[in-house]
Amino acid sequence: MRARRKQPDVPVPDNPWSEIVPGLWMGGHEYTGPSGEPQFAVVHDEFDLVLTLLRLPGHGPAPGVEHHVWPIPDGPLDGTQLTGVMRLARTAAEALDEGRRVLVRCYHGYNRSGLVVAHALVLAGRTSDEAIRLIRSRRSPWALHNELFVEYLGTGLATARLLEELAE
């Protein structure tokens, strides 16, 4: 698997988060506000569960909201990091089955959050290609522009994790 190319021209999203399927939202910590200027996305109590892949102080969620943090890079992941991604995706899928509102977030809400949301959709019965198309149509065409993450999804995260552990 290869590392993604840097893409400095990736636009800031137009909204803080987007609903991918009922109850499952994907977003970030920054978005373009109505004025056209970057704004910080701060989570309060809009969601029952927040899964954070890049934590920035002061961005919420509110006290009492279930919050799981698993910081990972927007690049190659080792076996432990992939295991955490799979755990978060399972947590999201279970929360959706319980009728909870779930936000998965990273910096812009494109790649790291997309990896978790796509895997949650795969756990719910979609193919990886269907999950990627759905995410890109609902969040942004820039979602999952990290080619390595798309390869992880195509291979299957469990298989990608085993391959990464063998390489270590």
pTM of full prediction above 0.95: no
Task: Write down the residue that tokens 């991918």 correspond to.
Answer: 20
Burial of 48 (0-12, 13-18, 19+ CB in 10 A): middle
Q: Tens digits of per-residue pLDDT, 114-132?
A: 999 999 999 999 999 999 9
- Tell me, what's the pLDDT at 33? 87
* Residue 110 backbone dihedrals phi, psi, to 5 degrees: -115, -60
Q: Tens digits of per-residue pLDDT, 146-166?
A: 999 999 999 999 999 998 888
Q: How far apart are CA 137 and CA 143, in angstroms?
A: 9
- Tell me, what's the pLDDT at 3? 37
- Tell me, what's the pLDDT at 8? 61
